[in-house]
Amino acid sequence: MSDRPAIARIVVVVPAHDEEELLTHCLASIERARPQAGAPVDVVVALDDCHDGSSGIVRRFDALEVVLAARAVGAARAAGVVAGLVLGDDDPAEVWIASTDADSVVPENWLRVQRELADAGADVVLGTVRPDPRDLTSAQLAAWRATRVPGRPNGHVHGANLGVRADAYARAGGFAPLAEHEDVDLVARLRADPLVVLEASDEADVLTSGRTTGRTPGGYASYLRLAFPR
């Protein structure tokens, strides 16, 4: 039995920079995941230096829009967290921050799996991602599949599938305003906290874009391009 309090509210944070092509699919998938969440869900989309139709897309969903011009995904995630936390006056230990990306689609059990792990005592959940097979050649897809062992989460850090309890997030200092690897940076600080319980899970894979030219030089797109060349 965990001595950590049950999760009373979930804040979903989605950073976006000119993602009108994929953002609808992302927000629609979060809507589909809401019924299984087991707690109220607030969705915040942080539009970072967007010059496309992303804002209009956000307004079609039950989501809060935050606008900034940092051109840094870490700053966007941090702004989204701040906006989501002030929507309630909850005990931070009872608030769960779920992070994904605007080019990603979460499964219907995504929020439920993170909340259940949190209710069992987790302060951080590292989820797995898989590239959209429509964006890969058959050889690339086969090579990627060879890196996965079903039922054995790899423990890699992906901002597209990451969850953290709000009090642990605050102690760690939150997302730094980095242009990339803000997720890895945050988790490194969380790992250094002796009070933090970290879990890795592959129960709720997030489907993310398989593009090889991404919004940051060293993001998941770069990984796919270098690890699985065409």
pLDDT at residue 2 greater than cutoff 80: no
How confident is the model over 8-40, as pLDDT tens digits? 999 999 999 999 999 999 999 999 999 999 999
**What is the CB-side half-sphere exposure of residue 167 using CA atoms within 13 A?**
15
> Average pLDDT over the chain, rounded to whole?
90
More confident residue, 155 or 1: 155
Residue 94: which of 198, 168, 42, 31 has the closest Cα?
A: 168
Q: What is the pLDDT of residue 226?
A: 46
Model pTM score? 0.90
CA distance linking residue 124 with residue 203, whole number of Å: 15
Which residue would you say has higher pLDDT here, 170 or 130?
170
- Give pLDDT tens digits for 59-81: 999 999 999 999 999 999 999 99
Q: 57: number of CA atoms within 13 Å, CB side?
A: 24
In the chain, % of residues over pLDDT 90: 77
pLDDT digits (tens, 9 = 90+) for 97-155: 999 999 999 999 999 999 999 999 999 999 999 888 777 677 777 776 777 767 667 78
Nearest to 207 by CA among 116, 144, 118: 144
- Domains plus CATH for the chain? 9-136+149-211 (3.90.550.10)
Give the pLDDT of residue 146. 72
Of 111, 119, 95, 98, the residue nearest 3 (C-alpha): 119
